[in-house]
Amino acid sequence: MNVSRTPSDIRSAVEKAALLIGVVFLIVGILGFIPGVTTNYASLSAAGHHSEAKLLGIFQVSYLHNAVHLLFGIAGLVMARSIPAAKSYLAGGGFIYLLLWIYGLIIDFDGAANFIPLNDADNWLHLVLGAGMMALGLFLTRDGTAPEQRDSRPISD
């Protein structure tokens, strides 16, 4: 029996990576609004360094911080639909997170510039996320061809 692959049946590695990262961001954004998963939930504020709420008791969050995670998640789901968009999501999002890491290194955590809010744990996470997303976006698309262009032969049982 021969089964032909159609482009919609095949998802490239970069599209899968963008989809997975998008889903993780959505989950993290939702978890940031759940008391218990987010400690000191009563102190969750709209923005700013005064929020003492911490996702998993580690990462300082606010309504703004959680909303950014949700938006990054939605962007990942939408942009995972094509190779160029998925690559842009991963590489561009990685670049944004590296900028956020640098921003977190230079601001005073107790100052007005810490509007997101950030702490040391956030900074380390942003470094890993930024480098990881950029690497995925760049290295998963090295040959520049879509999966259907690499192998359009029918699958045989």
Q: How far apart are CA 140 and CA 157, in angstroms?
A: 29
Angle (nearest 5°) at CA 113 between 71 and 125: 50
Distance CA 85, CA 21 (A): 14
Between 27 and 143, the more confident residue is: 27
Report the Cα–Cα distance between both ends of the chain, in Å, rounded.
Answer: 6
What does the pLDDT read at residue 83?
Answer: 95
pLDDT of residue 7: 53
Output the pTM of the full model: 0.80
Which structure tokens are listed for 36?
Answer: 């218990």
Residue 142's pLDDT band, with cuts at 50, 70 and 90, is confident
pLDDT bin (cut points 50, 70, 90) of residue 116 is: confident
